[in-house]
Amino acid sequence: MLLTIPTLIWSGMIQHWFDYTAPQFPGAAYIPAMFGTVVYFYGGSPFLRGGYQELRSRLPGMMTLISLAITVAFVYSAVVTLGLVEGLDLWWELATLVAIMLLGHWIEMRSINQAQGALKELAKLLPDMAVRLDEAGTTKEIPVAELRRGDLLLIRPGASIPADGVVKEGTSAVNEAMITGESKPMDKSAGDRVIAGTVNGQGSLRVEVTGTGDETALAGIMRLVEQAQTSRSRAQALADRAAFYLTIIAIVSAAITAIVWPLLGRPWGFTIERVVTVLVIACPHALGLAIPLVTAISTTIGARNGLLVRDRRGLEEARLLNTVVFDKTGTLTLGSHRVVKTTAADGFPDDEVLRVAASVQRDAEHPIAQALMTSAKEHGIEVPLSQDFESMPGRGVRALVEGRRLHVGGPALLKMLAAELPETLRRAAESAAADGQSATYLVEGNQVLAVFAIADAIRPESFDAVKRLHDNGLEVVLLTGDSTAVGNAVAKELAIDAVFAEVLPEDKVAKIEELQAQGKRVAMVGDGVNDAPALLTADVGIAIGTGTDVAVEAGDVVLVRSDPRDVPAIIALSKATYRKMIQNLWWAAGYNIVAIPLAAGVLAAWGILLQPALGAVLMSLSTIVVAINAQLLRRAVRSR
């Protein structure tokens, strides 16, 4: 820009237009030529190098057009300045053209860097230092790079967690929003896993390191985001083809312009100016930015909300889906058993029977015991200690709770104790059996106090997820290896459209192909382990990850949280991304329908002409519009 200013001030054309005389001294007439030459070789060097590389790889594009435009302007101006031909030089047009092109290029790079800034922000989440505890409990502050698996760390209140690990001691609430998108702090106690880069709350934690450096969830997220931003999609291929054809059209249009105007009697100065303007205004600068910038922004928006796009093709295809197939266990359900329904005998509160039943099972390790204990904990029930615990294989367990001899078990327990079921409890047990659930009884003496229906509980979020998909016109299918009764019960409760039950992992692919054969575009949602073949077969594979295991290789998209509501969120992101891509392609290339003929001078007879610098302004303006429009994607996609 500084080199361009003297070129403008001493330009004869500018002096004539603005009716002033620049300071005169020996050689002043050559100032535009001297500064314009420096601008061409110095400011134009990125474009000249880029154009050479494009021609060398036989893929002419943006750099080729710019290089042609500034080289034609430079050679013609040099010939005029040396007096070899008569005409008006284009030094000021050349200098302003290069300056404006560099400004547009800088805006493009800045926009891309801003879009990819989430990766840098993720990297900043990790602290530089960690507090390690030795066997004696002495603390020592060490660099994070020196951490190893098995190290015991002290995580003080408000501190960032330096590595993935398991809580060994302490309780706290950890803010995981920057990794999983979950705004609510997650309670952590002994046995819970924590993620590197998350922020500890008010409590103090002692954490054993399970993953450092490239092994952490944060590193996995960064790899997936970077991979998605560099992977190619069909939309990108379309933009590349459009840029190639636009380059050819521009070169042909420039050649026609160079032939026609001299035949019509116009001077070479006018003709060269038209040629340069055509080459500049048709430059596919914005086309080169249109798709990558939208992709960079959409993948970072997804990452911030727990949606990791592993393959851009998957994000692109998600907008076309009409069927979503969910694996049941661990996807729509919690993957561990809970008490899904409690039916107590008359006069006994549900919470009370659950409290004492969990106490009886407190020392047991059977899944039924874990279901009772977990459910009591989730209901905020304090489970008392029991005494004289005894396991009765095949029947159940018994223990003394607050002075009462209580039994918990299945139908064999009722037979052993000769206990009679009241009608309400009998109907509850039959209902549980019909839904493929286990019926467990609480008995005192020979009186049955309650029946608990135990099953793999449905995630609360699943109801909203299925509803959102239905609202968007998608069919929802359940795929499970469980019994037909269990599958139908889950499908009925969630209002799922179809069920494939008792399907072995190796047969899941056939079910996906069966749906595809019906003309459906199918997404498969699973845990990425035994569902991997089906994820790869589906049009879009959506892998359920966890906060500490995001590098799921089978899916096109990975859900950091095990939240099925993220599936409709992916579809919404896909649709918004596609809209922005199409809008940007029109902003980047559509204006050339009018701009190229105008630049060539079709309206010259009416005194309407575009100067090369104005052509560069219009071309750069399309680049700026594309960049701004891509940034508006952040508003179009609303986080939950």
Residue 126 to residue 163: CA distance in whole angstroms: 8
What is the arrangement of strands in the sheet containing 498-500, beginning at the earlier edge strand? Answer: 307-309, 557-559, 540-544, 522-526, 323-327, 475-479, 498-500
Residues 6+ apart with CB under 8 A from 565: 461, 464, 465, 468, 640
Distances 428 to 356, 371, 408, 423 between C-alpha atoms, Å: 20, 18, 16, 9
Query: Residue type at 588?
Result: A
CB 559 within 8 A of CB 542: yes
- For 95-161, give the DSSP string: HHHHHHHHHHHHHHHHHHHHHTHHHHHHHHTS-SEEEEE-TT--EEEEEGGG--TT-EEEE-TTPBP
Query: Residue type at 639?
Result: S
Task: Give catalytic residue positions.
Answer: 327
What is the arrangement of strands in the sheet containing 199-200, beginning at the earlier edge strand? Answer: 186-188, 172-175, 199-200
**DSSP annotation of 518:** T
**Nearest by Cα to 99 from 89, 107, 110, 111:** 107
For residue 83, count CB atoms less than 10 angstroms from its CB and return exposed for 0-12, middle for 13-18, buried for 19 or more: exposed
